[in-house]
Homo-oligomer: A and B are copies of this chain.
Amino acid sequence: MSKPRLRLFVPDDLGPERSFILDQNQSHYLAQVMRAEMGEAVAAFNGRDGEWRCAISAMTKRAVTLDVTSQTRQQQDEPDWWLLAAPIKRDRIDLVAEKACELGASALWPVMTQHTVMSRVNTERLAAHLREAAEQCERLTVPRLFDPVPLERALRDWESERVLIYLDETGGQPLAQIVAALPPQSKLAVLVGPEGGFSEAERRWLKDLPMVRVATLGPRILRAETAAIAALAVIGSILQT
């Protein structure tokens, strides 16, 4: 049985003998964009029940019905790494969302810092990017998207066991060293600033917080989105070994 060419994240429960109707967007995508055929196999996941093979059992332009056939993967524990990122320009933050999903982040949290230029975050578009990336990279979950808040509010009431790795472009401990000293199942968050970096006041405040580790990615100057992607790559490579 070959792998379905279509893979969708759905809100519905997935299990033997179940059927469900895709929403208008997904129905349109299958029927009109991908020109799916009756009976065609579709992989579906919901973040809870693993991945299931389904078959198209009814199809109009607006509503595609899937019958669940069989489970292809079981739900698994996934790493609990958040990315806290100051909003940056549209194409760059879209890239961050896509790559954060591929690299295993469990959540994306836009945080407003003093040098953040972008005042609005299109959370709907970001959520769509996260979902599409998860569909394409074969994840069994879609990273959560938290509501944009000022950085200070995000760090208030912080779970004490979640280490916050703060990437400081003025220097810190090499990220690889920090990560290598953490237990494999650690709850983590990475904090990346906007293009203008953090303010002096933010820097002083961050360094004093008990859950913070001040990290550097090396001597090169990285764009904000590169730093975010690089940090998640390093964490993934070291903690998964």
Pick out which of these stretches binds chain B: A19-27, A41-49, A124-132, A230-238: A230-238
Is B137's CB under 8 angstroms from A221's CB?
yes
**Which residues of A from 193 to 232 have beta carbons under 8 Å from B?**
217-223, 226, 229-231
List B contacts of A175 (CB < 8 A): 237
A139 within 8 A of B: yes
Give the residue of B138, B218, B236 whose beta carbon is less than 8 angstroms from that of A236. Answer: B218
A176 within 8 A of B: yes
Chain A 125-151 per-residue mask, 1 if CB under 8 angstroms from chain B, else 0: 000000000001111000000000000
List B contacts of A87 (CB < 8 A): none
Q: Give min CB distance, A12 to chain B, whole Å.
A: 24
Give the residue of B177, B220, B237 whose beta carbon is less than 8 angstroms from that of A103. Answer: B220
Given A104-B220, A220-B104, are A237 and B137 neighbors across the interface (CB < 8 Å)? no
Is B174's CB under 8 angstroms from A226's CB?
no
Please give the count of copies of this chain that the complex contains: 2
Question: Closest residue of chain B to A173, judged by CB?
Answer: B241
Q: Give min CB distance, A212 to chain B, whole Å.
A: 18
Question: Closest residue of chain B to A76, judged by CB?
Answer: B219
Is A220's CB under 8 angstroms from B174's CB?
no
Give the residue of B138, B218, B226 whose beta carbon is less than 8 angstroms from that of A240. Answer: B218
Give the residue of B138, B229, B241 whose beta carbon is less than 8 angstroms from that of A233. Answer: B229
Q: List 8 A-B contacts (CB under 8 A).
A: A103-B222, A103-B226, A104-B218, A174-B241, A176-B237, A218-B236, A229-B230, A230-B236
Give the residue of B174, B177, B237 whose beta carbon is less than 8 angstroms from that of A234. Answer: B237
- How big is chain A's contact interface, by range? 20 to 34
A99 within 8 A of B: yes
Given A138-B221, A221-B138, A229-B230, are A237 and B174 neighbors across the interface (CB < 8 Å)? yes
Give the residue of B102, B220, B238 whose beta carbon is less than 8 angstroms from that of A222. Answer: B102
Is A177's CB under 8 angstroms from B241's CB?
yes
**Which residues of A from 173 to 199 have beta carbons under 8 Å from B?**
174-177
Alpha-carbon distance between A98 and B113 when the two chains are bound, in angstroms: 26
Is A238's CB under 8 angstroms from B176's CB?
yes
Question: Closest residue of chain B to A95, judged by CB?
Answer: B95
Q: Give min CB distance, A175 to chain B, whole Å.
A: 5
